[in-house]
Structure 1
Amino acid sequence: MICFIVLTGIGWFYPANFIDIKIIEYIQQHQNFALTQLSQILSRLGGLPGTLILVAALFIYSLYQKRFDHSVLVVISFMLTVSVAWVVKWLVNRPRPDLDLSIVKTYGSSFPSAHSAYAMLIACLLIFVVLNNQLGWKRYSILLWALIMGWSRVNLGVHYPSDVLAGWVLAALIVLGLKIIQDRRIDKTA
């Protein structure tokens, strides 16, 4: 929670800070056609429509598995992540990086990155719902999705790195918080 508060302060009071700018410059220097194409594909997949499809699939999977606790976790996590991300975007109102790339359409302000929040939401839900919180390489490969999505947002020049980090933290806090609450409630009823 402290990390998200600090990131919000950075986004609010220091929108174009030195660290964010240097990371963007570094990524932009190493940009090429293939990476830009990959970033554009991820931009289309990782938006709200793509996330909604993945969340619906996880919801149906949970129902099929007769894990109604997972179904509830999926729906509430999705609704909270989307609504909190957009409320924070509206409150902080951080301008997007001043890069004239115009490669993809953007909506709303820069902070936090909704694409990054959605990617972390999906990653956390896959870990809890599909993997049942198993350890191992599968967990890390799922988290790689969130990392690549965040990188793509900076590569396209539509977010600062701190926007991406804030999106990840926000979604992880929501899903993990709900999972802890849910596990405690299940333990009390058992």
Structure 2
Amino acid sequence: MAAHRSAPAVLPPALRVWLGLIAALAALMVVAIGVLYAGHGEPGTVDGWIQPAVDGVRPPWRNLALATDFLGEPLGAAALVVAAVTGCLLLRHPHAAVFVVAGAGLTVGTTKLLKPLVGRTIHGADNLSYPSGHTAFLTALALVVALLAAGRLGLGRTAGAVLVLGAALVAGAAMGWAQVALGAHYPTDVLGGWCTALAVVPATAWLIDRVPDAGRRDRH
């Protein structure tokens, strides 16, 4: 019987246990913050410490915040996803392209499901704020790209963890700062969005890696 080549894993084996623990803790954090601020329309204690130092920035920092915010808007987000998918296809890694779309899409979809469940608002009852979808999206995309890079470069656990966590921190901090600076979210909304990405992306990668294995078992 002919041998079947397995598709490259999108979740590097060296990072599976570490990311599994991180994902579990992140999911617990999302739930804990959601329960704490469910139905609220005012900043919490932690928000009160951070928000005054960040909110209401002026040019040129406001321009930078608006540019960063655009990356989470439909047009900007679509452009980033298309660029990442194109890169994956040029490298002949279709599973990576699926991971880009699924990782970002499921993360954003999760934030949209959580917002009405939590019911936290900002600037009026119609503006659901928890968790931050913009922060979740950019963090998720950064996580996906970092995981793919770690796998392609064959990084070990320490180097891979530094790359993946560093990418998530930079992307989450950049978009989180922009959201708070523009008054679109509370700092705890941003933390919730960041943790949502940390919970969803590793789970998505694990599921995608299971698909080709199931296909090969069916052929035998």
3-state SS in 2 of match to 1:24: helix
- What corresponds to 1:46 in structure 2? 72
TM-score norm. by structure 2 comes to 0.71
- What corresponds to 2:114 in structure 1? 88
CA distance in 2, matches of 1:112, 1:142: 16
Q: 1:185 to 1:145 in 2, by over 3 A?
A: same
Contact 1:85 1:117 in 2 (8 A): yes
1:77 is the counterpart of 2:78: no
Question: Partner letter of residue 100 of structure 2?
Answer: V
The structure with the larger Rg is: 2
User: Matches of residues 32-181 of structure 1 in structure 2 within 5 Å?
Assistant: 32-96=58-122, 108-132=127-151, 134=155, 135=159, 139=164, 140=166, 143-181=169-207
3-state SS in 2 of match to 1:33: coil
**Structure with bigger RCO (C-alpha 8 Å, 6+ apart):** 2
- What corresponds to 2:10 in structure 1? none
Question: Partner letter of residue 52 of structure 2?
Answer: E
Contiguous gaps of at least 5 residues in structure 1 = 99-106
CA distance in 2, matches of 1:52, 1:172: 21
Give the % identical residues: 26
Q: 1:47 to 1:138 in 2, by over 3 A?
A: same
Q: 1:70 to 1:124 in 2, by over 3 A?
A: same
TM-score norm. by structure 1 comes to 0.81
3-state SS in 2 of match to 1:132: helix
Contact 2:40 2:121 in 1 (8 A): no
CA distance in 2, matches of 1:171, 1:88: 13
How many residue pairs get matched? 181
Measured after TM superposition, the shift of residue 163 of structure 1 is 0.5
Question: Partner letter of residue 128 of structure 1?
Answer: L
CA distance in 2, matches of 1:97, 1:132: 43
CA distance in 2, matches of 1:141, 1:110: 24
